[in-house]
Amino acid sequence: MTIWTFLGRQWTVLPPAPKGDYLKGIGLESLKHLVQASPSKLILCVRSIEATEKILGELQSLHPDLKAEIVFLDLCDLNTIKVLPDELRKRGVEKIDVLINNAGANPGNANKPPDFTKDKYEKTFQINVLSPLLLSLILLPFLRESPTPKILFLGSGLHASADVKLIESSLKDNKSIVGAFNEKDGDWYNNKQIYGISKLLLQMITRSLIPSLHDINIITVSPGLAITNLGRDFNFNLAFYIFGAPFMLLNARSAEKGARNVSSAVALADQSYDYWAECGPSYSESSWLSSGNGIKATKAFYKEMIEEVEKISPGATKGLIV
């Protein structure tokens, strides 16, 4: 092989990892940790049934007593969340001790307009913010059957550097924040920024849930930068290979290490925590969240989201202190 062929091959942009029967990530690694604690039953709510069955089979060959249910759930389809309580009851589930809202999506680094779900919400907003909230509230009756219920949300350190312009302008103009992030005309949208912003919006929700739900421990877990499939929609260009790849190699954790943050919160968090990182109680690095505008926006956004959930699933927010 000549040096030119070698360089040509090495610099060829490879296609993204195949989708479908290919699972890795913080969810899978957390699962591997959790099965070692002999849970009485695992309920795996996923959109990839076949791949999950395969993984469960492998886990059950190592842990023959492991009981589990696999249930279809697509956070882009709110109806799959709404029917979940009935589906769980049909399968004999009455109680949930720990709910882990692991699923999340990053739409990548392309300059492109927003995608909308069939529920008419911007896709990243629905997957990362609305659906975890709706799911958590809809499952409250199951959680309340547990003596020590916990809800985990997967946050991200990127919330602290997220652009707050659209949130602040909505607040200033007395306009809906939910409306602003789901506006059909995509002028407001920045595909590269939306992931960090969605995690900020999620952080605004989870810290509001803590005083609203006295009887449930709410923990926002930050797994840190970890090598998973989260970058599946990124275009890996030359700049990525020169700057991004060495940065990732030097600084990113394995998915398994990221997952230690989840499993440690399941095992050790004995109260609600606004932020859980490096396997222990931590703090959000967003000074904006503690600023006057941040506090006002958090309150306004939470109220709107509770109203939104109530519209989607009447009765789901009953008893919440808003």
Ligand X SMILES: NC(=O)c1ccc[n+]([C@@H]2O[C@H](COP(=O)([O-])OP(=O)(O)OC[C@H]3O[C@@H](n4cnc5c(N)ncnc54)[C@H](OP(=O)(O)O)[C@@H]3O)[C@@H](O)[C@H]2O)c1
Instruction: Choose, by CB under 6 A, the member of 114, 149, 223, 294 that binds ligand X.
Output: 223
- How far CA 248 is from CA of 83, 212, 258, in Å, comes to 40, 38, 14
Rounded distance, CA 212 to CA 158, Å? 25
Q: Which tokens go with 101? A: 């809202």
Three-class SS of 257-312 = HHHHHHHHHHHHCCCCEEEEECCEECCCCCCHHHCHHHHHHHHHHHHHHHHHHHHH
105 sits near ligand X (criterion: CB under 6 A): yes
Instruction: Choose, by CB under 6 A, the member of 71, 81, 99, 103 that binds ligand X.
Output: 103
Binding segment toward ligand X, per CB under 6 A, in 22-30, 60-68, 183-191, 274-282:
22-30
Binding segment toward ligand X, per CB under 6 A, in 102-110, 173-181, 282-290, 292-300:
102-110
174 vs 251 by CB, closer to ligand X:
251
Q: Residue 18 is which amino acid?
A: P
137 sits near ligand X (criterion: CB under 6 A): no
Instruction: Choose, by CB under 6 A, the member of 31, 55, 78, 127 that binds ligand X.
Output: 127
Rounded distance, CA 321 to CA 13, Å? 51
156 sits near ligand X (criterion: CB under 6 A): yes
Q: How far is the CB of 63 from ligand X (least distance, A)?
A: 20
Rounded distance, CA 177 to CA 297, Å? 8
Q: Residue 252 is which amino acid?
A: A
- How far CA 53 is from CA of 26, 57, 70, 99, 208, in Å, comes to 17, 6, 7, 20, 36
Q: Residue 118 is which amino acid?
A: K
Binding segment toward ligand X, per CB under 6 A, in 98-106, 236-244, 276-284, 292-300:
98-106
248 sits near ligand X (criterion: CB under 6 A): no
228 sits near ligand X (criterion: CB under 6 A): yes
216 vs 221 by CB, closer to ligand X:
221
**Distance from CA of residue 163 to its chain's centroid?**
19
210 vs 248 by CB, closer to ligand X:
248
Judge residue 195's burial from the number of C-beta atoms within 10 Å of its C-beta, 0-12 exposed, 13-18 middle, 19 or more buried: buried
48 sits near ligand X (criterion: CB under 6 A): yes
Binding segment toward ligand X, per CB under 6 A, in 103-111, 136-144, 270-278, 293-301:
103-111
Contact (Cβ atoms closer than 8 angstroms) between residue 102 and residue 261: no
Q: Which tokens go with 102? A: 């692991």
Site string for ligand X, 64-83 (x = CB under 6 A): ---------xxxx-------
The β-bridge partners of 150 are: 98, 217
47 vs 144 by CB, closer to ligand X:
47
124 sits near ligand X (criterion: CB under 6 A): no
264 sits near ligand X (criterion: CB under 6 A): no
196 sits near ligand X (criterion: CB under 6 A): no
Q: How far is the CB of 276 from ligand X (least distance, A)?
A: 12
Q: Which residue is nearest to ligand X (CB)?
A: 104
Q: How far is the CB of 285 from ligand X (least distance, A)?
A: 13
Rounded distance, CA 19 to CA 21, Å? 6
Q: How far is the CB of 173 from ligand X (least distance, A)?
A: 30
DSSP 133-177: HHHHHHTHHHHTTSSS-EEEEE--GGGGG---HHHHHHHHTT--H
26 sits near ligand X (criterion: CB under 6 A): yes
Chain residues that interact with ligand X, rule: CB under 6 A:
23-27, 46-48, 73-76, 102-105, 127, 154, 156, 223, 225-226, 228-230, 258
